[in-house]
Amino acid sequence: MSDKIEFIDLKAQYRALKPSIDARIAQVLEHGRYIMGPEIGELEERLAAYVGVRHCIGVASGTEALLIALMALGIGPGDEVITTPFTFAATAEVIVLVGATPVFVDIDLADCNIDANLIEAAITPRTKAIMPVSLYGQCADMDAINAIAARHGDIPVIEDAAQSFGATYKGRRSCGVSTIGCTSFFPSKPLGCYGDGGAIFTDDDGLAQAMREIRVHGQSKRYQHDRVGVGGRLDTIQAAILLAKLDTFDEEVAARIAIGDRYLELLREVPGVTPIRVVPDRTSVWGQFTVLSHNRDAAVALLGEQGVPTAVHYPIPLDRQPAYKDACRVSGKLEHSLKASQQVMSLPMHPYLTEDAQRDIIDVLGKAGISARAA
């Protein structure tokens, strides 16, 4: 293989955007308003316009975004929040942190998002929110989920959009398709900064105000603490970096979609490997490019030997994790989630991945012999 293949190439992106990123950072260093500086408001305005909602609140991370959303909704002990066990731990973690119970509903194996058909059976009088995850960069079935929530007394829906910023659902943007949308700017996410960061989106003025206050220790004004909050501010330097990166984000999203399409095309020649399905009317930003294979562990090992890095998102469903198995309630069988944890692997994915590299990766995958036991 020619060049070393990176799983995610953050340095290539920095090299491409270096002048504007450096200039933006220098401005912050010069003006000296390091906490809640002017870049925060500027970024929030641009992101709200991008998503198409009234309010964006910049926060310290994707995890903090989810936590603040739950706190603003007043969710706590005795309450239940319906979500998926096949996600990064942060989704369930914040539910447990506010004292509520995560209720796990199985996924659809085709796209690995929560199966909307199974949600209604999990609703009880204690259900205070539904938290679908837009996994791998593709929205869950938000209209179906919103309709169920509306039928049951307008249960708030929080989209965990940490992996899907920039994706569309029936023409609308991820983060703007439910009561609250939460995203992450962790460096490897579709819109990443150079440290930790996140944002919350909503059209609800009251919730937006509550979340702004919770972000700064529950202050309605300086040293007036009307509610319990957190130290959840977005860093000004990270906001500056994101402002520079937003200038080319549309191009990066287009590149991600083109690279995803090319993977799908190349994978048609590889039996035994099933890519995540992109549902009609949705676009995926391929936060991860993930495939399912019955011979996952062998394929991961072989690809690794040939210099192709892979990752498993995620090897253990949350209902089986020590931290959550006693803290959760399980609704129905979670067999698809378990199957996914045994079969998924993510291939290198970033907007600067070349066609040659993709061909090399699929070549190695084709030779890995996983077709012997077709999926």
Ligand X SMILES: *Cc1c(COP(=O)(O)O)cnc(C)c1O
Find the shortest distance in angstroms from Cβ 86 to ligand X: 10
Q: Which of 62, 132, 229, 272 binds ligand X (CB under 6 A)?
A: 62
Binds ligand X (CB under 6 A): choice among 21, 40, 53, 90: 90
List 184, 283, 331, 341, residue binding ligand X (CB under 6 A) = 184
- Among the listed ranges 58-66, 69-77, 265-273, 315-323, the one in contact with ligand X (CB under 6 A) is 58-66
Q: Binding of ligand X at residue 138 (CB under 6 A)?
A: no
Q: Contacting ligand X (CB under 6 A), which of 61, 84, 146, 179? A: 61
Site string for ligand X, 197-216 (x = CB under 6 A): -x------------------
What's the 3-state SS for the chain? CCCCCCCCCHHHHHHHHHHHHHHHHHHHHHHCCCECCHHHHHHHHHHHHHHCCCEEEEECCHHHHHHHHHHHCCCCCCCEEEECCCCCCHHHHHHHHCCCEEEECCECCCCCCECHHHCHHHCCCCEEEEECECHHHCCCCHHHHHHHHHHCCCCCEEEECCCCCCCEECCEECCCCCCEEEEECCCCCCCCCCCCCEEEEECCHHHHHHHHHHHECCEEECCEECCCCCECECEHHHHHHHHHHHCCHHHHHHHHHHHHHHHHHHHCCCCCCEECCCCCCEECCCCCEEEECCCHHHHHHHHHHCCCCCECCCCCCHHHCCCCCCCCEECCCCHHHHHHHHHEEEECCCCCCCHHHHHHHHHHHHHCCHHHHCC
Among 91, 138, 174, 337, binds ligand X (CB under 6 A): 91
- When asked if residue 341 is in the footprint of ligand X (CB under 6 A), the reply is no
Least Å distance, CB 14 to ligand X, is: 19
Residue 161 or 240: the one with the smaller Cβ distance to ligand X is 161
| 146 contributes a contact to ligand X by CB under 6 A | no
Rank residues 73 and 234 by Cβ distance to ligand X and give the closer one. 234
Q: Which of 9, 58, 63, 211 binds ligand X (CB under 6 A)?
A: 63
Residue 186 interacting with ligand X (CB under 6 A)? yes
Tell me: does residue 284 bind ligand X (CB under 6 A). no
What mask, x for binding ligand X by CB under 6 A, covers residues 218 to 257? Answer: ----------------------------------------
Residues that bind ligand X (CB under 6 A): 61-63, 87-88, 90-91, 133, 160, 162-163, 184, 186, 196, 198
